[in-house]
Amino acid sequence: MKYLTEFRNGEIARAMAREIAQATTRPWKIMEVCGGQTHSIIKNGIDQMLPHGPDASVEMIHGPGCPVCVTPLELIDKALAIAAQPGVIFCSFGDMLRVPGTEGDLFQVKGRGGNVRVVYSPLDAVELAQKNPGKQVVFFGVGFETTAPANAMSVHLARRLGLKNFTLLVSHVLVPPAIEAILSAPGQQIGAFLAAGHVCSVMGYWEYPPLAEKYGVPIIVTGFEPLDLLDGIRRAVVQLESGRHEAENAYGRVVTFEGNRAAQQLLKDVFEVTDRAWRGIGVIPRSGWRLNANYREFDAEERFQIAGIHTEESPLCHSGDVLRGAIKPAGCPAFGNECTPRHPLGATMVSSEGACAAYYNYGRFFVGGRIVKGWECRLLAGSL
pLDDT tens digits, 76-100: 999 999 999 999 999 999 989 988 8
Nearest alpha-carbon partner for 179 in 166, 187, 188, 169: 188
pLDDT band at 308 (very low <50, low <70, confident <90, very high): low
CA distance 308 to 29: 40
- Bridge partners, residue 170, by sequence: 141
Helix (H, G, I), strand (E, B) or coil at 379: helix
Q: Topology of domain 69-174+259-303, per CATH?
A: Rossmann fold (3.40.50)
Mean pLDDT of 3-18: 88
Handedness of CA 149, 144, 101, 119 (dihedral sign): positive
**Single-letter residue type at 31:** M
Per-residue pLDDT reduced to its tens digit, 122-161: 999 999 999 999 999 999 999 999 999 999 999 999 999 9
Pairing between strand 136-143 and 166-173? parallel
In the sheet that holds 219-222, the strands lie side by side as 57-65, 27-34, 192-196, 219-222, 247-249
Taking alpha carbons only, the member of 329, 267, 308 closest to residue 66 is 329
For position 309, what pLDDT does the model report? Answer: 66
In this structure, CATH architecture of domain 5-65+176-249 = 3-Layer(aba) Sandwich (3.40)
CB 241, CB 26: distance < 8 Å? yes
Residue 336's alpha-carbon distances to 359, 362, 384, in angstroms, are 10, 13, 6
| List of E strands, the chain | 27-34, 57-65, 88-92, 115-118, 136-143, 166-173, 192-196, 219-222, 247-249, 271-278, 282-291, 365-367, 370-372
pTM of the model as a whole: 0.90
- Whether 66 and 354 have beta carbons less than 8 Å apart is answered as yes
Q: Is the pLDDT of residue 336 over 80?
A: yes
Question: Domain spans of the chain?
Answer: 5-65+176-249, 69-174+259-303, 319-383
Fold match between domain 5-65+176-249 and domain 69-174+259-303: yes
Per-residue model confidence as pLDDT tens digits over 61-76: 998 878 888 898 889 9
More confident residue, 307 or 241: 241
